[in-house]
Amino acid sequence: MRSDMIKKGLERTPHRALLKGTGVPQSQMDKPFIGVATSFTDLIPGHVGMRDLERFIEKGVHSGGGYAFFFGIPGVCDGMAMGHKGMHYSLPTRELIADMVESVAEAHRLDGLVLLTNCDKITPGMLMAAARLNIPCIVVTAGPMMSGRGQSGRKFSFVSDTFEAMARYKAGVISDKELQVCEDNACPGMGSCQGLFTANTMAILTETMGMSLPRCGTALAVSALKRRIAFASGEKIVELVHNDIKPRDIMTRAAFENAIRVDLALGGSSNTVLHLLAIAREAGVELPLELFDSLGKDTPQLASMNPAGEHFMEDLDIAGGVSGVLKQLGGKIKDTQTLFGLTTHQLAESIQNVDDGVIHSLDNPIKKEGGIAILSGNIAPLGAVVKQSGVSAPMMQFAGTARCFDAEELAMAAIMEGRIKSGDVVVIRYEGPKGGPGMREMLAPTAAIMGMGLGDSVALITDGRFSGGTRGPCIGHISPEAAEGGPIALVEDGDTIILDIPARRLELKVDDATLAARRAKWQAPQPKIKTGWLARYAKVVTSAHTGAVTTAE
């Protein structure tokens, strides 16, 4: 075992003394040492229930014949970081999390890891570490939140009943009291936000790839089932160590393709493009950006999930969960191995009945194409991403007038002050991985556009990214970004921008000579943040089309 390097032999007497100083009995020295990387924090609803899950993981590890050691991993709540300086830190924490898990596991020669996670950048950061370390690992996602409940059976959710409600209040659509009701009911307790936002999408994709146990991706945070999954995961990691089953045995190219198809079928978060690219890189799997689009054209959308649709995570779980989606996708899913021991096809076959009112069949899809599309054109030569499952039919093709803003706050002020009108294309730039730095999410302006009633008449494009809660004609991840001199930096107020999602095009209707003249005048901006971690991050982060990863070059 790896841990023998810190507990076997005469020369490890000091190491054993330190282990005994933590309380490890001599009788436990021959057992596998299992690290439990926990992102518990009082700051995030999705993580406040982890103390309970930690107990059940520990019970499982000891029941399975291992010895558990807990260590902490930081978490940022994207909702609370939204709309201010804090959002600069969200995506960069993904890299920190991967580095921290790697550092602790390598320094202490842990035999295996249980990765207890839940929210947006924490789950992909954990998976990146698992792929990089390639020691036995299993992921436990802490589960989604219940929907809020109101009178007459109304269900409340975080995004539509906070961010969009704020804009509806500003527009005079709802009253003070109605806004307060939304605020009080949108987040009724622990768990990740109720719809198919980034946290829940990544939990589902983790299960799809076989890195967590069945139902882990959809079982509610408050459920006894989640406790049982935590216990079973603790037992399973000891088995994985004994059988030497590693993440790269599970996270193959076929597993990533399955994850993409499930994401497309459910209409999940566009952030998964960034995260799957980054995880695949760590796993040594080639995953080109174009694959998302080619699979998207061959994968119909089978579910109508909040925020763009009607169903919540609790509905998806009852309808059949991830295995139900695999069953409905049928032959489009490749047969791959999972940590659970069953293959994806066996898991699909284990489901007797799927609620096809929630997870539709292939012959009765919600839409003919998957939820994510990759666009390109002279604004985005290296690609851009749109969550087309959240775009209404009238906005799938759109021509509008550019309104340019060099920061999210400037655009948000213009929207809330009523300066954005029907027919505009809001351009938010210098918010990419380098320019932000940190590639901030634009949930506040996109939700404000929807809340102001402009969702069918205004588009938004950015070199930043969007929350999984975003809906509407919002195109992000534009590459190259403005800070690197990408064409989005050359757009001017009054330019015409053409959006054609069916044709996968995003075009600026300005001739090449004019663009060349503008480029000759363009100067790279000064960094927005010049000190600390983010200044270092901006120097080494890559473009969105490669996953916005940090490199040593």
For tokens 């996109």, name the residue: 446
The band of 5, judged by pLDDT with boundaries at 50, 70 and 90, is very high
pLDDT exceeds 90 at position 156: no
pLDDT score at 553 = 58
pLDDT score at 109 = 98
Mean pLDDT value across the chain: 95
Give the separation between CA 292 and CA 140, rounded to whole angstroms. Answer: 26
Positions marked active-site: 467
Nearest to 385, CA basis, from 493, 306, 462: 462
- Mean pLDDT (whole number) for 357-367: 97
CA atoms within 13 A on the CB side of 341: 7
Computed from CA positions of residues 286, 92, 260, 429, in that sequence, does the dihedral angle turn out positive or negative? negative
pLDDT exceeds 80 at position 110: yes
Give the separation between CA 123 and CA 454, rounded to whole angstroms. Answer: 33
The band of 161, judged by pLDDT with boundaries at 50, 70 and 90, is confident
pLDDT score at 551 = 86
User: What's the 3-state SS for 149-202?
Assistant: ECHHHCEECCHHHHHHHHHHHHCCCCCHHHHHHHHHHCCCCCCECCCCCHHHHH
pLDDT exceeds 80 at position 151: no
Residue 384, CA distances (Å) to 127, 274, 378, 381, 506 in order? 24, 11, 11, 8, 8
Instruction: Count the neighbouring beta carbons within 10 Å of the beta carbon of residue 290.
Output: 12
What is the H or E stretch that residue 540 is in? helix 532-540
pLDDT score at 470 = 79
Strand 496-500 relative to strand 505-508, pairing:
antiparallel
Give the separation between CA 473 and CA 134, rounded to whole angstroms. Answer: 39
Q: Is 232 helix (H, G, I), strand (E, B) or coil?
A: helix
The band of 326, judged by pLDDT with boundaries at 50, 70 and 90, is very high
pLDDT tens for each residue of 473-498? 999 999 999 999 999 999 999 999 99
Domains identified in the chain and CATH numbers = 4-15+23-145+191-349 (3.40.50.2300), 373-546 (3.50.30.80)
